[in-house]
Amino acid sequence: MMIDLSGKTAVVTGSSSGIGLAIGAGLAAAGAQVVLTGRDEQRLVAAAEPLRASGAVVRTVAVDLAADAGPLLDQEPETDILVNNLGIFEARPPLEISDDEWQRYFETNVLAGVRLTRHYLPGMMDRGWGRVQYIASDSAVVTPAEMIHYGMTKTALLGVSRGFAKAAAGTGVTVNTVIAGPTHTGGVETFVRQLVPGDLPWEEAQHRFMREYRPQSLIQRLIEPEEIANMVVYLSSPQASATTGGALRVDGGYVDAILP
């Protein structure tokens, strides 16, 4: 399948590293002009450099989307593809999660994407083409006891995505959620080290984490960010025109269900 996104612009939030950067790279490889966002300008510049060296058109916007999306909306008032990847997570005993933490997780993981969708979706609908995606998690369906505040936000994204898909019905715009499983990123390495004691070599720590905390995984390893990006690139393509309102899993078979 040849995916050609030439002439399209894609905004990817939370994309200075990890899954977001892999998504940006995948969209750029398909020909899209890509806008990377993050709070740290230096990290964004470093992330964009190899993509530009490969010939991609990449722009960066340093912005805290949980607080104020203005800098992004001023620089990029329109887009063809919006990937709401921004998210935070951390292990926390459920009874120790404060009101402020609940609010911070909801603002960052849910409302930041809602605000961007509310801004960009009308233009997509007027033009008769567009793609909006939310990056959720297996935690949306299988809430982990060690971070229910995170799981709550990812569950919310399933409803948000389905609702916006209905709002865009019949316009040529699709809205979907990608349910990512346990993925190998820098943040997840830190998370694994929090849960797996000792100074084990990374491969041993990863296998112990999967065995003890994510035993449902059918691939029995962490997913690589590029594997998530492959699904996002497909959903961003003209070939995915009949896929909307869905929750598509790239979870390594972690969720033990036929449907999400």
Active site residue ranges: 150
3-state secondary structure the chain: CCCCCCCCEEEECCCCCHHHHHHHHHHHHCCCEEEEEECCHHHHHHHHHHHHHCCCCEEEEECCCCCCCHHHHHHCCCCCEEEECCCCCCCCCHHHCCHHHHHHHHHHHHHHHHHHHHHHHHHHHHHCCEEEEEEEEHHHCCCCCCCHHHHHHHHHHHHHHHHHHHHCCCCCEEEEEEEECCECCHHHHHHHHHHCCCCCCHHHHHHHHHHHHCCCCCCCCCECHHHHHHHHHHHCCHHHCCCCCCEEEECCCCCCCCCC
Say if CB 11 and CB 35 are below 8 A apart. Answer: yes
